[in-house]
Amino acid sequence: GCHCGDSPEPGGDSTGALAPVELSAPEPTSHTPSPRALVIHHRSELDDADLSALERLDLALAESDRLGRLTEIDAATACTGIDLSQLSTRAPRLASLRVSGCADAIASLPPLPALTQLELDEITVDASVVARLVGMVGLERLALVRTPATEELALEPLASLHIRELALVELERESLLAGLLALWPNTLRAASLVGPWAGHDAMTRVSKAAALERLELRDTRVGNFSLNQIKPLTRLHELAWAGDTFNDNSPLYFRDLPVTSFSCACPHFGDGALHTLRHCESVERLELERTQITGLGLAALARLPELAELVLNDRDLGEAGFAALTQVARLRRLELSGHAEDPRMTGLGALAGLEQLRLGYPELDDRAMVEIGKLQHLRELDLGGSALSDVGLAPLATLTGIEVLGLSRTRVTNRGLAHLAALTKLRQLELDHTDVVDAGVHHLVGLQELTRLRLDHTLVTDAAVEDLLALRKLTYLDVRGTVVTAEGAARLSSAPTLAELAWGEDTP
């Protein structure tokens, strides 16, 4: 369908968690009579809305959700008198619900048979809330964000649910809600603990979640002593840490677990932590951010026989780092960002086995393409946000295996796109926020495997429509913020394969 015109702002700033756990705000909706996703900031907005096709609803009624819109919304009546008793009838497909700052909404909530995902934000959890949750028999994903709990709250009735993913975010210190972590030992697969509320007591509850596969600890009070509690979790394969309570010895606590993915945004992680990681031989994916590691320290990663994916944010590896990575035998995906002292990326070309590469260095320019051009096995390349220009695209012509290419926010113009003609396997191409014009689109006509194309915030006009229609496999096209008119958009929408067209005004 055509996503035309302005989209509503998403709901409140829900605190995130691991991707499988986080209950994000609904995607912006298009202006259709019956949306699939809806964000509500005042109860009156629900009165006449057609909810028959609604799948995701965000009742963003907390004051924190109204920031920037305080003058538009009557805060005194935003929640007062809200009645959701007919929601199951009005929204029979509702699968995801977020409610913030409105206890009345929960009080009137009926059982929702299709609901699988629920987030409560800034709502006190009491016996009545527990009773409402018990009625959500299909619920699988639950997030509680800044939710106080009443004293002596009985959580046991919730054991009848089959929760698979649980996020507990910024709760009160030693919250009773930590008891939820031990309530579903046979079904809970993912847990996210965010904020200093979580300490040793919370980790003792985590140790009872025998089926747990994914665990996130972000900005908690959990340190090495409490990490002993993860040792019984023999199914744990994804671990994400963030905060200054972790140090070079912390990886020792999961060395006997089958962890395949480990990420840490840890200021006290240094080369010693990489040395410790050598004991964690099952790790296949490693992501590090805000650490003190050096390029030389990466030599320790050669001891990880399964390591295939490495993400290093805010780090400059230098030539020594690339040399160390040549010894990581199975490395196939590399993602780097931050500040690069050497925009030439000297040594990168020696990583001959790379298949996926993302470089988030603003300083990176055409000189780096000499090294990148040596990576003949690349299937995915993202250089978005760099200083790459038309000159730098020439070496790409030899990388004929590329299927996904990101050139967003670069200095590429239509002249440089002529070099892409040889990339006949290209399926996805991002050219948004560049100076590409209609003549550049003409260079893409031969790329008949393209299924997704971003041209938003470029200079293309209706003159490019016929060339775009010549891309016979295109399923997604974004031309927001261009000079394409309503007539041009209508013409594009007629393409038989195009499932989604994004068009209209949009904030860059």
- Write out 69-101 in H/E/C secondary structure: CCCCCCHHHCCCCCCCCCHHHHCCCCCEEEEEC
Torsion of CA 174, 176, 179, 180, to 10 degrees: -110
Give the residue-averaged pLDDT of 392-414: 95
Predicted confidence (pLDDT) at residue 14 exceeds the cutoff of 60: no
If phi > 0 it is left, if psi is from -120 to 50 it is alpha, else beta; for residue 480 that is beta
Question: What integer pLDDT is reported at residue 24 of this predicted model?
Answer: 40
Per the structure block, which two tokens stand in for 71?
Answer: 């003058």
Please say if the pLDDT value at position 402 is more than 50: yes
Cα 494 to its chain centre, rounded Å, is: 32
Across-strand partners of 193?
Answer: 168, 217
Q: Which domain holds residue 91?
A: 10-194
- The pLDDT of residue 126 is 96
For 436-473, give the DSSP string: --HHHHHTTTT-TT--EEE-TTS---GGGHHHHHT-TT
Q: What does the pLDDT average to over 190-202?
A: 97
Total tally of structural domains belonging to the chain: 1
Cα 455–459–461 angle (5° rounding)?
A: 90
Q: Is 166 contained in some domain? A: yes
- In this prediction, residues 253-262 reach a mean pLDDT of 97
Per-residue pLDDT, 70: 55
pLDDT value at 66 more than 80: no
What global pTM score does this model have?
A: 0.87
Asked, for residue 58, whether it belongs to a domain, the answer is yes
Please name which of 228, 267, 262, 212 lies closest in space to residue 245, comparing C-alpha atoms: 267
| Secondary-structure breakdown of the chain: helix, strand, coil percentages, each rounded to the nearest 5 | 25, 20, 55
Please give the structure tokens belonging to residue 332: 């196939």
Q: Is residue 428 part of a domain?
A: no
With a cut of 60, say whether residue 8 has pLDDT above it: no
Q: With 60 as the cut, is the pLDDT of residue 5 above it?
A: no
Is the pLDDT at 408 greater than 70? The verdict is yes
For the CA atoms of the chain, what is the radius of gyration? 25
CA 437 to chain centre: 31
Residue 45 buriedness (CB in 10 A; 0-12 / 13-18 / 19+): middle
Amino acid present at 261: S
Q: What is the dihedral of CA 96, 101, 104, 106, to 10 degrees?
A: 30
- Mean pLDDT, residues 211-229: 97
Judged against a pLDDT cut of 60, whether residue 257 lies above it is answered with yes
170 is a domain residue = yes
Give tens-digit pLDDT for 90-138.
999 999 999 999 999 999 999 998 899 999 999 999 999 999 999 999 9
Residue with token string 């509320």: 197
Helix, strand, or coil here: 396? helix
The average pLDDT across 359-366 equals 94
Helix (H) or strand (E) run with residue 324 in it: helix 318-325
Assigned domain for 330 exists: no
Q: Is residue 173 part of a domain?
A: yes
Burial class from Cβ neighbours inside 10 Å (0-12, 13-18, 19+) for residue 85 reads: exposed
Mean per-residue pLDDT, 249-270:
97
Report the percentage of the chain scoring pLDDT > 70: 92
* pLDDT (0 to 100) of residue 71: 60
Specify if 455 maps to a domain.
Answer: no
Q: Is the pLDDT of residue 30 over 50?
A: no
Pair 118, 136: CB distance under 8 Å = yes
Residue 467 predicted with pLDDT over 70: yes
Grouping H, G, I as helix, E, B as strand and the rest as coil, residue 205 is helix
Q: How confident is the model at residue 37 (pLDDT cuts 50, 70, 90)?
A: very high
Q: How confident is the model at residue 317 (pLDDT cuts 50, 70, 90)?
A: confident
What tokens does 416 get?
């440089």
Contact of 81 with 43, CB cutoff 8 Å: yes
Q: Is residue 342 part of a domain?
A: no
Average pLDDT estimate for 176-201? 97
DSSP state of 171: -
Least confident of 70-79, 195-204, 446-455: 70-79
Confidence of residue 78 (pLDDT cuts 50, 70, 90): confident
